[in-house]
């Protein structure tokens, strides 16, 4: 029963993260992102400071993440969340929509969840709208 509550907590936090990314709320994201967090995108990988800079400057504007499926696995003090999403974003001034499987890894630190890794994997299968 404990894991079910933790799973729901992580799912809720992930949804909040997408909203914060859309709103470019770097203060909330700064508090959520672990200091050693890594971010893997189609165009490269980088750490927390660069991700926050990209969001704040609008280098990538995560306009809307439409979540189709979500699952969470709790392993000790680590949560691995998978989101199958359609992401509407503005990258380099161009609006793009891509299907992704997003892997989010959260670790518990001082009683709260911190995002340790956010990884976008572009899906090659046709979209299945539900």
Beta-carbon contacts of residue 121 (< 8 Å; ≥ 6 apart): 100, 101, 102, 103
Q: 92 — phi, psi (to 5°)?
A: 60, 35
pLDDT in tens, 24-60: 999 999 999 999 999 999 889 999 999 999 999 999 9
pLDDT in tens, 70-88: 999 999 999 999 999 999 9
pLDDT of 128: 53
CA distances from 98 to 36, 46, 60, 64 (A): 27, 20, 13, 11
Total number of domains constituting the chain = 1
* Domain CATH code at residue 99: 3.10.450.50
- The whole domain housing 62 covers 2-122
59 part of a folded domain = yes
pLDDT of 64: 96
pTM: 0.92
**C-alpha closest to that of 79 among 48, 44, 34, 40:** 34
pLDDT of 127: 56
User: Tokens 């969340």 correspond to what residue?
Assistant: 81
In this prediction, residue 68 has a pLDDT band, given cuts at 50, 70 and 90, of very high
Is the pLDDT assigned to residue 121 strictly greater than 70? Answer: yes
**Burial of 1 (C-beta count, 10 Å sphere; 0-12/13-18/19+):** exposed
d(CA 77, CA 55): 28
6 part of a folded domain = yes
pLDDT of 130: 45
Q: State the SS3 of 30-55.
A: HHHEEEEEEEEECCEEEEHHHHHHHH
Of residues 124 and 32, the one with the higher pLDDT is 32
Secondary structure of residue 97 in the 3-state scheme: strand
């Amino acid at each position: 029963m404990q894991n079910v509550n933790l799973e729901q907590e992580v799912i809720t936090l992930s949804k909040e993260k997408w909203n914060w990314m859309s709103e470019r709320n770097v203060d909330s994201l700064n508090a959520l992102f672990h200091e050693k967090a890594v971010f893997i995108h189609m165009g490269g990988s980088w750490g927390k400071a660069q991700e926050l800079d990209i969001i704040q400057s609008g280098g990538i504007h995560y306009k809307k993440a439409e979540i189709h499926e979500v699952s969470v696995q709790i392993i000790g003090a680590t949560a691995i969340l998978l989101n199958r999403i359609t992401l509407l974003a503005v990258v380099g001034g161009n609006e793009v929509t891509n299907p992704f499987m997003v892997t989010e890894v959260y670790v518990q630190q001082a009683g709260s969840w911190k995002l340790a890794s956010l990884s976008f994997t572009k899906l090659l299968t046709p979209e299945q709208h539900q």
